Amino acid sequence: MSTTSIPSDRKIVLVTGASSGIGEATARHLAAAGHHVVLGARRVDRLTVLVKELSEAGYSAEYAELDVTDPAGVNAFAETALARHGRIDVLVNNAGVMPLAPMAALHVAEWNQMIDVNLRGVLHGIAAVLPSMLERRAGHVVNIASTAAYRVDPTAAVYCATKYAVRALSEGLRQENSDIKVTVVSPGFTRSELADKGGDPQAQGAARSATELIGLPASAVAEAIGYAIGQPAGVDVNEIVVRPTVQN
Ligand SMILES: NC(=O)c1ccc[n+]([C@@H]2O[C@H](COP(=O)([O-])OP(=O)(O)OC[C@H]3O[C@@H](n4cnc5c(N)ncnc54)[C@H](OP(=O)(O)O)[C@@H]3O)[C@@H](O)[C@H]2O)c1
């Protein structure tokens, strides 16, 4: 496939989990900043509408169906972007799930889902972009962790474990590669669909109430991601924690 004529100052940015919440807000923010966004998620109906809206606004965007738990699918997502544009400048590893429940409830399938999406999904993304970034000696991996990567709370044990792990692997990736920028963005309560799916009804209800009461707009997290991406060559913003002022 031939490469498009995207100017080199416009970054090619892949965003996983772009069909709602923080990923969708990040797509809007980065597209409006002039970057070309390549959006992935399972709900392609949402991505179709978003890309249409961005394109009609004069921005540059495309999408592909993506399940981050499938390493071959994540590779294909990155390979397609690479073939089309000749490079991947930034990967925003954003896709995530948070079915909260006490461990004693033994929601083992949901524990595995959190590990598969939040941890393995991030690793699949890194594996898909790292070789071409190393070859170019340039690139930026932005991993979305959480304030749950810094403190553990009841009903969030496994979710926190995945987010602590994302922080740990990000630091390792950073230390091993002097040409690649690595940023961990850790939001606090943020308005999105995160607490709408799965988990224990009481735990999810509490998370939803807190988010409705104090949650940041997803655009606030998108701006933090945009800040990290906007730094000049040689400047690597390693960690950003962005939470509501009233969150303890
Ligand atoms: N909202 C918060 O308070 C908060 C706080 C800290 C950290 N975070 C983190 O922020 C990230 C985004 O979450 P959000 O709050 O924006 O929630 P959200 O609105 O539920 O968005 C989650 C996104 O992940 C995608 N996703 C889930 N499973 C996937 C899979 N297997 N493959 C590909 N995409 C998948 C979803 O798309 P599809 O369902 O269409 O695939 C959706 O686009 C997550 O990593 C989350 O842990 C959120």
Let me know if residue 2 belongs to a domain: no
Let me know if residue 198 belongs to a domain: yes
Q: Give the number of the atom of ligand 1 that is nearest the alpha carbon of residue 43.
A: 40
Let me know if residue 6 belongs to a domain: no
- Distance CA(44)–CA(46), nearest Å, equals 5
Let me know if residue 18 belongs to a domain: yes
**pLDDT given at position 2:** 35
How many domains does the chain contain in total?
1
Give me 177's structure tokens: 């590669």
**pLDDT given at position 48:** 98
Let me know if residue 246 belongs to a domain: no
Verify whether ligand 1 is closer than 6 Å to residue 42 (CB atom): yes
Let me know if residue 4 belongs to a domain: no
Pocket test for ligand 1, best of 66, 115, 194 (most atoms within 8 A of CB): 194
Let me know if residue 247 belongs to a domain: no
Let me know if residue 209 belongs to a domain: yes
- Residues spanned by the domain of 116: 12-237
Beta strands in the chain (DSSP E): 12-16, 36-41, 60-65, 90-93, 140-144, 181-187, 239-242
Secondary structure element (H or E) that encloses residue 52, with its range: helix 44-56
* pLDDT tens per residue across span 147-181: 999 999 999 999 999 999 999 999 999 999 999 99
* pLDDT tens per residue across span 185-229: 999 999 999 999 999 999 999 999 999 999 999 999 999 999 999
* pLDDT tens per residue across span 68-125: 999 999 999 999 999 999 999 999 999 999 999 999 999 999 999 999 999 999 999 9
CATH number, domain with residue 36: 3.40.50.720
